[in-house]
Amino acid sequence: MTTQQTQQSFSVEDVSKHNSEESLWIIVDNNVYDLSSFQNEHPGGKKILKRVAGKDASKMFWKYHSAGILKKYSPKLQIGSIGSAASAPSKAESAPAVQEKKAPVPVVVSTEPKEPFEPFGDIIPFGDPAWYQGYATSYYNESHVALRNEVREWVDSALEPNAGEWDEKKEVPAEIYREMGRRGYLAGALGVHYPTEYTDIRPACVAPEQWDHFHEFILTDEIARAGSGGLVWNLLGGYGIGAPPVIKFATPQVKKRVLPGLLSGDKRICLCITEPDAGSDVANLTTSAAKTEDGKHYIVNGEKKWITNGIWADYFTVAVRTGKEGMNGISLLLIEKTMPGVNVRRMDCSGMWSSGTTYVTFEDVKVPVENLLGKENQGFKVVMTNFNHERLGIIIQANRFSRVCYEESMKYAHKRKTFGKRLVDHPVIRTKLANMAIRIEATHNWLENMIFQTNSMNEQEAMLRLGGAIAGLKAQSTQTFEYCAREAAQIFGGLSYSRGGQGGKIERLYREVRAYAIPGGSEEIMLDLSIRQSLRVHQVLGAKL
């Protein structure tokens, strides 16, 4: 279908003539769709379309579908609009679809107190963070607003409508990952300053020197809005935890060789810590790295399990044992796919299908000593410095997924009727929505505080002082996610039990809860650490105990 045809204008009478199997047109929200060829492949059946052939089918359409369907199928099926070409936009169109190519204009930020920003998004109460909905904020400035708008436009048009299909295929087109690089999103997702020294790519709407942890928060949060953990981990999972040790601890030569390709999205990386027998218990890992007699290489042997993005990775940031037992014998090595002895196989998991969960084996892999990240036997420290960034990423995603569960439930509760009333008119359903919202907002507000603290401290200080609170917040966010996925599933009923369709996001997210509650420190470990670590810090600060 050409764009010109899409602009064609028809009258209701024109459409009414196309009311048969041979020529089957319908109207949805003032737009005209030719379903003549599509009717045979319509997952909801052919007959149901015949009943609305030649008619305005908006009401029936919105009863059975969510907005993503139109975004996905319009380019193929829409042939025009009713009346003038500039008719009222549909629900799906109201989100801008195509990003205009404009020259990047960095936003210059003033430090004056601000009025609330223009309301943004669907304005469903608690469906987005408060600062999106016209409430005042002291955390965000115009550059955050600009980035939020830019990412949402991309996610709405290019990611969300395809997330379900990609998850089923267990693969996201490589072009999407490269686009993450081209837009400067990968360079901005390292938990450090925007690394202008290793890439010429610049974000379109944020001056690199102004890029902060809130920008990374917004980026991750908006991508998570597509409602697929598999997708977020495909785009940010391996990279967000595998690349920071390289930029912080690799030698200058290795950084110069490796980082440009990683930041542009041409090369991929993953983090290999977990083993078949060592998960949250990092200090007990057994993958060995023995130095050769000439001291120029390590010979690496061992297995790593549940490695996100491993099947596509060019680089592996690997925790190995170079010394004695326990945490003081661990080092981090950058292993490369081109090194003989590196093997990967995809693992079958209950969720996160498009994230490429991998089993990695290292058999006598010869790694030059220059690929050591940090100092020998001090890798545990490198792993620890990674944790705040990794956990904040998990918290951001888990809480947006909770919001997606809530937002989808709220929308569905406004259209589904039972016992003669909309779901939202039943107090029991409103109680479910309220219990979801209060948890999401509490988590989000604590999260914003943690991001603000992270912005205000150097990394060493943040690791020590925020480690406990961030661990506690991780547990809170995954408990909230589990709660919201369950409640949303109950609200959607059978639709959340079958794959795809209106309940598709809920069904998928429900299967993804464990991927958030277990890795990056299980809930049990996080809760315990939140108290232990905070006590340690506050004893130094003079807690009166």
Residues near ligand HEM (CB under 6 A): 26, 28, 33, 35, 42-44, 48-49, 52, 57, 60-61, 64-65, 69, 73, 77, 500-502
Q: How far is the CB of 77 from ligand HEM (least distance, A)?
A: 5
Q: What is the C-alpha to C-alpha distance for residues 367 and 495, in angstroms, rounded to an integer? A: 51
527 is written with which tokens?
């809760």
Count other Cβ atoms within 10 Å, centred on residue 35.
Answer: 22
**Tokens at 57, concatenated:** 């089918």
Residue 353 beta carbon to ligand HEM: minimum distance, rounded to whole angstroms: 17
Q: What residues contact residue 439 under an 8 Å CB cut-off, 6+ apart?
A: 402, 480, 483, 484
- Among residues 12 and 60, whose Cβ is nearest to ligand HEM? 60
Task: Return the amino acid letter for 492.
Answer: F
Taking phi over 0 as left and psi of -120 to 50 as alpha, with beta for the rest, 135 belongs to beta
CB of 504 to ligand HEM, least distance (A): 6
Our CB check for ligand HEM shows the closer of 74 and 479 to be 74
> Which one, 26 or 462, has the nearer CB to ligand HEM?
26
Q: Is 300 left (phi over 0), alpha (psi -120 to 50) or beta?
A: beta
Shortest distance, position 434 Cβ to ligand HEM, whole Å:
27
Q: How far, in whole angstroms, is CA 425 from its chain's centroid?
A: 33
In angstroms, rounded to a whole number, what is the distance separating the alpha carbons of residues 187 and 194? 6
| CB distance 374 to 382 below 8 Å | yes
Cα atoms found within 13 Å of the Cα of residue 342, Cβ hemisphere only: 20
Phi-psi region of 499 (alpha: psi -120 to 50; beta: other; left: phi over 0): beta
* Residue corresponding to tokens 């061992």: 302
Distance CA 348, CA 366 (A): 29
H or E element in which residue 503 lies: none
Please tell me the distance from the alpha carbon of residue 275 to that of residue 285, in angstroms, as a whole number: 7
Minimum distance from residue 172 beta carbon to ligand HEM (Å): 18
Shorter beta-carbon distance to ligand HEM: residue 53 or 201 = 53
Residue with the CB atom nearest ligand HEM in the bound state: 44
CB of 505 to ligand HEM, least distance (A): 11
Q: H helices then E strands: how many in the chain?
A: 19, 14
Q: Which helix (H) or strand (E) holds 325?
A: none
Nearer to ligand HEM, 97 or 109 (CB): 97
Structure tokens at 507: 């069904």
Q: Taking the complex as a whole, how short is the minimal distance between the CB of residue 26 and ligand HEM, in angstroms?
A: 5
Closest distance between ligand HEM and the C-beta of residue 402, in Å? 22
Residue 69 or 525: the one with the smaller Cβ distance to ligand HEM is: 69
Cα(395)–Cα(430) distance, integer angstroms: 25
- Residue with Cβ nearer ligand HEM (52 or 383): 52
Q: Could you identify the residue written with the tokens 């150097």?
A: 458
Report helix, strand or coil for 528.
helix
Looking at the Cβ atoms of 73 and 139, the one nearer to ligand HEM is 73
Q: How far is the CB of 351 from ligand HEM (least distance, A)?
A: 19
Distance separating alpha carbons of residues 519 and 498, to the nearest angstrom = 26
Closer of 409 and 479 to ligand HEM (Cβ) = 409
Shortest distance, CB of residue 8 to ligand HEM, whole angstroms?
16
Find tokens 């406990």 and name the residue.
Answer: 468
Q: In terms of CB distance, is 33 or 131 closer to ligand HEM?
A: 33
Rounded to a whole number of angstroms, the CA Rg of the chain reads: 25
Looking at the Cβ atoms of 73 and 120, the one nearer to ligand HEM is 73
Q: How far is the CB of 416 from ligand HEM (least distance, A)?
A: 11
Q: In the complex, what is the shortest distance from the CB of residue 231 to ligand HEM, in angstroms, rounded to a whole number?
A: 16
Q: Which one, 128 or 507, has the nearer CB to ligand HEM?
A: 507
Q: Show the tokens assigned to 105.
A: 């204009």
Q: Which residues contact 67 (CB under 8 A, 6 or more apart)?
A: 91, 92, 95
